[in-house]
Structure 1
């Protein structure tokens, strides 16, 4: 198992290249790969029949033509839905992919993966267990893999099921007791909302040996400013824009390929 944070790039495609293609679809993953992005982040949930699928919301309506709860809908019905037209009619054939299907595309481009465990309430252990089962069977061992979640129970379950995997703790604001929380969860990184970035705290967290990432940053100047203040990586809907800004910014030019 590769230590994922040791291979961390400066920019991660948030739900794929989701600013241009529909989020959490194979199209957004293909686009990220074609753009030369090193890592992608996607969300995993369970269908009614316990299959890990790539989707963000509990409800289907925002990013598909479906209705109701995703965890009440079997895979056969989920994969009949249009998961792309809400973004652009040219994506009308996009479907809600399974985790296995997403892995195949990500591996094709040799990208790293941050898989966010996003269980519906009460399905924390089931979502984590089913996802880890797929990852252990199909994720290429020579590519970096990181699991993250906002959900405490998902992270404790992941650690119990897969002691070797590196974990990231997703939060909005940095917790007051951040170190004890990270130690309890055995996480190697903290993923924070950009609006709660605090240079002094981030310096302290990094000095303790943890990585700090921020979401979701689509402004090139902001990304460069946060890098200069010590941030390790950003999640972006427009990763190519951020990547180009890095390569064009002289003090950070050497980071372009990282």
Structure 2
């Protein structure tokens, strides 16, 4: 596992700050920074022609004025979409950022980044090398970067490409073999659904020496017990609700 303690915060913005501005946009990243967080989580998604955008869903419909399968959309089509009007009239015209645009924005704000690789398919070699290459060329501080994914094979490939990266395995329900998976990629943390986590699991993760991050609670009372169990940080859509935990 990583021996460097990179996470110096207890609150991380989810998809930027998804309740304060349209998720996974530059406005959402900036809203998180204004709320005081020092780390944000965003999703990177592969589209047609090898493009990498900041987006969460398999389809465009929920968060844009477009429709169709995200994986199949062309870069020029993405650039024409409105990714803010669904949220409020204040954000009409907001664009889906490319990975590079998001990296530039986050670094300009001096934030740490939890970059989640959104990829549910088997061909991880179609996204991981491209993401890792852009990070190698355009992300400056390795101690302000965490790479996370639900896709274990994607994290395995990340590890093969660069063993110095801080990797975080994502789970909804933590499987029996979680420790073997984390050990095989020398993971930094286990990131999981707060609602599915048990006290016994949390204590086991901490006893094994990993950081424990939980998503996505937007009300402090929902995770009061989790802090006592050893949770290191909450990933939240609304960092303002956790202002007392922000250093």
Gaps of 5+ in 2: none
Gaps of 5+ in 1: 247-255
* Partners of 1:201 and 1:68 in 2: CA distance: 39
Where 1:93 maps in the other structure, the secondary structure is coil
1:142 shift after superposition: 6.4
| Offset from partner CA, 1:87-142 (integer Å, 9 cap, x none) | 11211111110011001111111110000001252442221111111111111226
> 1:72 aligns to what?
72
TM-score (norm 2): 0.94
Question: Conserved in 2, the CA contact under 8 Å of 1:125 and 1:153?
Answer: no
Alignment of 1:168-183 (within 5 A): 168-183=168-183
| Offset from partner CA, 1:236-256 (integer Å, 9 cap, x none) | 0001211x233xxxxxxxxx4
> 1:103 aligns to what?
103
Alignment of 1:188-207 (within 5 A): 188-207=188-207
* Partners of 2:166 and 2:18 in 1: CA distance: 25
> 2:114 aligns to what?
114
* Partners of 2:3 and 2:58 in 1: CA distance: 31
1:228 shift after superposition: 2.3
Where 1:63 maps in the other structure, the secondary structure is coil
Question: Conserved in 2, the CA contact under 8 Å of 1:110 and 1:143?
Answer: no
Residue 99 of structure 2 is aligned to residue 92 of structure 1: no
Where 1:62 maps in the other structure, the secondary structure is coil
1:21 shift after superposition: 0.5
After the TM superposition, which of the residue ranges 122-131 and 232-241 deviates more from structure 2? 122-131
1:207 shift after superposition: 1.2
Number of aligned residue pairs: 246
Question: Conserved in 1, the CA contact under 8 Å of 2:6 and 2:143?
Answer: no
After the TM superposition, which of the residue ranges 53-62 and 195-204 deviates more from structure 2? 195-204
Question: Conserved in 1, the CA contact under 8 Å of 2:194 and 2:223?
Answer: no
Alignment of 1:1-258 (within 5 A): 5-141=5-141, 144-242=144-242, 244-246=243-245, 256-257=246-247
* Partners of 1:232 and 1:215 in 2: CA distance: 12
How well do the aligned residues superpose, as a CA RMSD in angstroms?
1.7
76 and 120 in structure 1: CA distance in 2 versus 1, 3 angstrom threshold:
farther
* Partners of 1:30 and 1:82 in 2: CA distance: 18
Question: Conserved in 2, the CA contact under 8 Å of 1:51 and 1:130?
Answer: no
1:54 shift after superposition: 0.2
After the TM superposition, which of the residue ranges 126-135 and 108-117 deviates more from structure 2? 126-135
